[in-house]
Structure 1
Amino acid sequence: MNQAHQTSNGACFPLGATVTDDGVNFAVVAEDASQLYLCLFDQDGKEQEPLPFINKHKGIWYMEVLGLKEGQYYGLRAKGEFNPEQQQLYNEHKLLIDPYARDLSHKLVWHEDQSAINQEGQLNSVNSAYCVPKSIVRTVTAKHNRPARVKVTPSSRALYELHVKGFSKSLPIDDEIKGTYLGVISAAGIEHLKSLNITTIQLMPCFSFMTERHLELLELNNYWGYNPISFFAPEPSYAKQDAVLEFQQMVDGLRTAGFEVILDVVYNHTAESELDHSSVCFRGLDNARYYRHQAGQYLNYTGCGNCIDTYHPNSIRLICDSMRYWVEVMGVDGFRFDLGVDLGRTDHDFTPKAPLLQAILQDPILSETCLVMEPWDIGPNGYQVGQFPRGFLECNDQYRDTVRRFWRGDKGMVPEFATRLLGSRDLFHKGQKSALTSVNYITYHDGYTMKDLVSYHQRHNLANMEDNRDGHSDNLSQNFGTEGDTDDINIQQQRLNQQLCFMATLLLSQGTPHILGGDELSHTQQGNNNAYCQDNDMTWQIWQDIDEETRLARDAMQHTISTLMTLRKTYPILAEIRLEDDPLYQHTSSDHIHWLNQHSEPMSAENWADKERHFIALTLTSADLSSYFWIVFYSSDTPIRVPFPAESDALEVVYQTPGFSIKDNTLHCAYRGVFVAKR
């Protein structure tokens, strides 16, 4: 018994801090620790005498501390072997965050005193309590009047990638909510999102995260948030006052406005980074089990200094518990998994039967959410597009690259372009997966914005202070004769037309489209294709005081998105065609597709083999014959004339980029573009 606090046996589940009738129950995994201590802090931030945990069962330390209440600040300290070669880094001098903490006292900022090991490889004996956030005892529950989950038809789903701060920082709203969760659901924010007619908001990471050591030393910030230190506590810097309640309010507000909400999650690594960086949570509790290692070295399959061992039961439980919490309590409708191959590795190799993937898919709650996988990491056999089990959608970078090449005018791209348009059936095979499994995208947060994709040949990342070495070197971009900004009206028009071609292609392709937030605003990062550390006007969306070029581009882009989203929702055949040769749809009547050349004749073998071909068209006819579409893609700037297809009387133009006109049942193509008509 401690002089200040009485303890009782308590329970080993649930993990974390749980308020009881008599106090607070604490349960923490630290399998190899010889002793775990609970460190309580008073209102002045002073650490009280540590309380040793009194029970341990199957690697879980637990006890109930009587008399404690909601709001108590606490941390952990773990005693055990210090043997870096054996991945044991127990160090009582390091205050540790509870992995299951629902809230933290403040944002974690890197400090050299957080390290468990010094530069000589010896134990670092500096007490780190002053530079580590305190965990907070907090009971977080779902609101009883939460808006119902928005049911999105898979064929109408369109993802819109949104950064909480970047989206709302410059919105014309009250200063106190700019850059916050509440700013996202301001009247101006909701009005803009609804105008796009999209269905699903994909929030960039909102787990509490830390800026990396090398960025701190360069006086830069981690802006994107792909560096988590907690899988439960929301990022406090996005909150006006209370990150937990305000995140819930944001989700509720988005649901009320009619949106599905999915959260970009990073379960593949943590902000503790390399062995000699921070020891503020997982490393100090159970380094040998939470992180992948071999022969005394971390296996860095993420490029971020460590990777979570998602084959270990403790990690599987942690991740599934976290996911259920964000669904059941915080309110999200699904997840996008960063570097998802790490989640599908066993000891080292990837398999679609990996325990974590199967655990998610068998879970009655998680399996019913929208699950989007980034199907690669940088480890061995790290590229696994098309290999995840059914139930996961997968980001399709081959779609991105093919569409960029086609519109750049590369030779011989028509056959592969057609494959991507029809749902990448070389990757997501008929009879096995729906075309909707393919998450199609032209731009993502990691790369050029769409405006920069048509304005720059080379990356311009000097602001990242890595001598322009970071970021992709081959962006498959096209600047139309001038690098960067220009006053040349002709180049401006060409660039806008190219952006419209990209967006129209994306929304007319079979699969699930992904739109990078800001592309509809003609946002530029001045050619920076790796703006993860740019927390400034380079990455924040600009809403006001725009020039005429940007205003026209915004109007055209937003019209394209809204118009084509309306079509996708009205005509599911545009997203998921059901063909006779696809066993997935044997129980339904078949839709029909025909590929046509520039003479509106069926594509011949010679046509498909023609490497100089830049034209491809198709007709889509629904099984009940109620809808018929003629869709044209032309990636050259040489004018051509295309006769209407046979039996295409009374066609109604529903969308076209600027270079088209119609005369005498002939489509006149002045230059590259996309054309859609229906009857």
Structure 2
Amino acid sequence: MQYQVNTGHPFPLGASVTEHGVNFAVVSEDASQLYLCLFDNKGNEQERLPFVAKQRGIWHMEVLGLTEGQHYGLRAQGAFEATQQKLFNENKLLIDPYAKDLTSKLVWHKDQATITQEGHLHPIDSAYCVPKSIVRTVQTNHQRPARVKVPASSRTLYELHVKGFSELLPIADELKGTYLGVVSHSGIEHLTSLGITTIQLMPCFSFANERHLEALNLNNYWGYNPISFFAPEPSYAKQDPVIEFQLMVDGLREAGFEVILDVVYNHTAESELDQSSVCYRGLDNARYYRHESGQYLNYTGCGNCFDTYNPASIRLICDSMRYWVEIMGVDGFRFDLGVDLGRTDHQFSAKAPLLQAILQDPVLSETCLVMEPWDIGPNGYQVGQFPRGFLECNDQYRDTIRRFWRGDEGLVQQFATRLMGSRDFFHKGYRSALHSVNYITYHDGYTLNDLVSYHRRHNLANMEGNRDGHGDNISQNFGVEGKTDNSDIRHNRLNQQLCYMATLLLSQGTPHILGGDELSHSQQGNNNAYCQDNEITWLNWQESQARTALQDTISTLTRLRKAYPILAEIRLEDDALYLHDPHDGIEWLNEHSQKMTEADWLQGERDYIALTLTTADLSTKLWLVFYREDIALEVPVPINTEKLEVLYNTPGIRIENNRLNCAYRGVLVAKL
């Protein structure tokens, strides 16, 4: 078939349906020629059309007569000079970086390589093993529920894996493991019961397995290996991933949730130089990936590092973000290995172009932006150093709280600092404590149950000789490694989980809960379950005493955070950020309910610490108590207490005869 073409337009990038056909626009600065390959629905290449125009590094043309649903791919011709990072190979079919939908999931195959082990041009045509891009116009649903406006002081993040959350839910089989399963009646009912405000979806960009997982017959489960920044992951859909993702977001909105998406813009599934060439590597390897002296700069540990200092990459990422907000409906993003996004010419800067582009964008700057503030490159640890507008995952909080409840010595000062928003990292006068995303557990580590059940990692199922995952988990097993029928150990483990969860939800800042912790879910001691697409990671919905206690704790304390914003953000007199606001009050108390002295703060084995928070208008005074020893302790209530209402307490701590009775470790919050 003969196709008529004209020069078309360089924008918008990707494939856009026009009045007379389809306009294609693709960035490839260094290619000498770019080709559009048209395929039928069976994967047969029917036509190879050279692009007829190029300006500012963008190849473009309009193909007349094409319609919505056309399958296509790209091929790029140019220099093949590995030492210069130029790897053009016309034998390799390439996915359009702006494709909104793909014909299938990408599966790694050796014939996708653009370079042989000897360093020569790989001669085999890869079209048979590369998904085709689909011309698709994706519309926003103008009837969708309105966005949920969450007050920052009320925000509680809940990290959810689409498949892991819904695979074992008591729902229809066809919904299990899918976007639609998340918003089934059972899914929504559970999420609503927790009182959380924000669903943080683990990656939903179309992703691929790594080569080594293919060899081990394992799957990339977490999804941190994207090939497309626009097309949603097809394996989570019954039929249409685009529509079903939108329906999931609509269902979550209708239930009252804010939705943010965990995104991976720091690397791609193309991995090392000798692996796949299915998109960016074949289009402009030297510009899309960071490199130096002929070698990739692998600041991600995943084989490549996306060059977010490149203008084309900045535009691609911002276009992707706007698409997921405006068309797909999300309310924000959590950025994996975010330091890469803030690197200029390899060094981190809070003024990096991509960070500034996001913050000045009228759409993106109004979303919830959560940064993972590290990568493995030089100066890769940047907690507290991102510009205002980005919340940051705070591992300092995680480690200190774990050590405190484990019983480590000399931690009371650090514990108090973390409890009050980690002002040593998120400095007063510049950033609210709400910028600190506090967490005890995240997907990459132990679950809350495993944190109190295992002394060391148990990752043999990953088939890496138990060498992968964190070595120091700051965990404890209370006397037995793993599962046990000992009722005393089970009681102590549950109580410790309640203490962790209560501390998290009573800390200044923005709390993050790992989905499944409310169920006391165990991964059998696996602290790096990225490749376990099975019962290890799928949430177990069996009723239990632990599940009931943890869900009650979460629902009670999320309700308290909404009722008493001072629990999340206190406005103190010595914080210049709140100069024009009435000032709240805080007082730290020892086990005699007297003001903490210097000697109290320096006491290495201090197990008891309490504080009162008083609102500026004096209408509310809250008493927070944290006790980590299992020896009975009796404490007087604070002086001048005329009336006391317990708002929450763990089982081992309660008010009796106007005194605080601590039978064993626990947490209490009361209104005075």
If the length of structure 1 is used for normalisation, what is the TM-score? 0.99
1:320 is paired with a residue of what secondary structure? helix
Q: Deviations for 1:463-497, whole angstroms, at most 9, x for unmatched residues? A: 00000000000000010000000000000000000
CA distance in 2, matches of 1:201, 1:661: 33
Q: Choose from 246, 249, 255 the match for 1:248.
A: 246
Letter in 1 for 2:580: H
CA distance in 2, matches of 1:659, 1:639: 9
* Aligned ranges 1:439-450 → 2 under 5 Å: 439-450=437-448
For residue 572 of structure 1, what is the aligned residue in structure 2?
565
Give the gaps of 5 or more residues in structure 2: none
1:411 is paired with a residue of what secondary structure? coil
* Aligned ranges 1:50-61 → 2 under 5 Å: 50-61=48-59
Letter in 1 for 2:235: S
For residue 321 of structure 1, what is the aligned residue in structure 2?
319
* Aligned ranges 1:62-77 → 2 under 5 Å: 62-77=60-75
CA distance in 1, matches of 2:310, 2:492: 53
Q: 1:297: how far off?
A: 0.2
* Aligned ranges 1:348-497 → 2 under 5 Å: 348-497=346-495
For residue 142 of structure 1, what is the aligned residue in structure 2?
140
CA distance in 2, matches of 1:500, 1:144: 42
**Are 1:504 and 2:497 matched, yes or no?**
no
For residue 611 of structure 2, what is the aligned residue in structure 1?
618
For residue 104 of structure 1, what is the aligned residue in structure 2?
102
Q: Choose from 120, 127, 147 the match for 1:122.
A: 120
1:322 is paired with a residue of what secondary structure? helix
Q: Choose from 549, 555, 565 the match for 1:556.
A: 549
1:50 is paired with a residue of what secondary structure? strand
Q: 1:661: how far off?
A: 3.0
Q: 1:286: how far off?
A: 0.3
Q: 1:392: how far off?
A: 0.3
Give the gaps of 5 or more residues in structure 1: none
Q: Deviations for 1:125-172, whole angstroms, at most 9, x for unmatched residues? A: 101000000000000010111111100000000000000000000111
Q: Choose from 220, 228, 252 the match for 1:222.
A: 220
Letter in 1 for 2:635: V
Q: Deviations for 1:549-596, whole angstroms, at most 9, x for unmatched residues? A: xx0000000000000000000110000000011111111110000000
CA distance in 2, matches of 1:46, 1:198: 49
CA distance in 1, matches of 2:625, 2:450: 25
Letter in 2 for 1:411: E
1:661 is paired with a residue of what secondary structure? strand
For residue 344 of structure 2, what is the aligned residue in structure 1?
346
Q: 1:43: how far off?
A: 2.8
For residue 200 of structure 2, what is the aligned residue in structure 1?
202
Letter in 2 for 1:449: T
Q: Deviations for 1:415-437, whole angstroms, at most 9, x for unmatched residues? A: 00000000000000100000000
**Are 1:180 and 2:178 matched, yes or no?**
yes
CA distance in 1, matches of 2:67, 2:391: 43
CA distance in 1, matches of 2:656, 2:84: 77
CA distance in 2, matches of 1:536, 1:168: 12
CA distance in 1, matches of 2:443, 2:276: 27
Q: 1:177: how far off?
A: 1.0
**Are 1:665 and 2:665 matched, yes or no?**
no
CA distance in 2, matches of 1:665, 1:383: 47
Q: 1:612: how far off?
A: 1.2
Q: Deviations for 1:384-437, whole angstroms, at most 9, x for unmatched residues? A: 000000000000000000000000000011100000000000000100000000
**Are 1:629 and 2:622 matched, yes or no?**
yes
CA distance in 2, matches of 1:613, 1:394: 30
CA distance in 1, matches of 2:127, 2:18: 27
CA distance in 2, matches of 1:36, 1:27: 10
For residue 332 of structure 2, what is the aligned residue in structure 1?
334
For residue 168 of structure 2, what is the aligned residue in structure 1?
170
Q: 1:603: how far off?
A: 0.4
For residue 597 of structure 1, what is the aligned residue in structure 2?
590
Letter in 1 for 2:53: N
1:515 is paired with a residue of what secondary structure? strand
8 Å CA contact retained: 2:39, 2:47: no
CA distance in 1, matches of 2:106, 2:56: 30
CA distance in 1, matches of 2:395, 2:536: 25
CA distance in 2, matches of 1:661, 1:624: 28
1:417 is paired with a residue of what secondary structure? helix
For residue 602 of structure 2, what is the aligned residue in structure 1?
609
8 Å CA contact retained: 2:170, 2:186: yes
CA distance in 1, matches of 2:382, 2:43: 48
Q: Percent identity?
A: 76
Letter in 2 for 1:643: P
Letter in 2 for 1:655: Y
**Are 1:528 and 2:542 matched, yes or no?**
no
**Are 1:308 and 2:301 matched, yes or no?**
no
CA distance in 2, matches of 1:72, 1:425: 54
For residue 647 of structure 2, what is the aligned residue in structure 1?
654
8 Å CA contact retained: 2:359, 2:389: yes
Q: 1:44: how far off?
A: 2.7
8 Å CA contact retained: 2:591, 2:608: yes
CA distance in 1, matches of 2:398, 2:41: 53
8 Å CA contact retained: 2:521, 2:540: yes
CA distance in 1, matches of 2:360, 2:288: 23
Q: 1:49: how far off?
A: 2.7
User: How many residues align structurally?
Assistant: 672
Q: 1:650: how far off?
A: 1.1
Letter in 2 for 1:35: Q
For residue 36 of structure 2, what is the aligned residue in structure 1?
38
CA distance in 2, matches of 1:447, 1:543: 21
CA distance in 2, matches of 1:428, 1:661: 34
CA distance in 1, matches of 2:362, 2:81: 41
1:161 is paired with a residue of what secondary structure? strand
CA distance in 1, matches of 2:42, 2:84: 38
CA distance in 2, matches of 1:207, 1:303: 19
Q: 1:357: how far off?
A: 0.2
1:192 is paired with a residue of what secondary structure? helix
CA distance in 1, matches of 2:505, 2:109: 46
1:331 is paired with a residue of what secondary structure? coil
Q: Choose from 283, 286, 291 the match for 2:284.
A: 286
CA distance in 1, matches of 2:280, 2:654: 62
Task: Tell me the C-alpha RMSD between the 2 structures.
Answer: 0.6
Q: 1:663: how far off?
A: 2.5
Q: Deviations for 1:15-44, whole angstroms, at most 9, x for unmatched residues? A: 000000000000000111000000000133
**Are 1:638 and 2:634 matched, yes or no?**
no
Letter in 1 for 2:335: F
**Are 1:260 and 2:253 matched, yes or no?**
no
CA distance in 1, matches of 2:121, 2:113: 9
If the length of structure 2 is used for normalisation, what is the TM-score? 1.00
Q: 4+ runs of 1 displaced by more than 2 Å?
A: 661-664
CA distance in 2, matches of 1:234, 1:648: 56
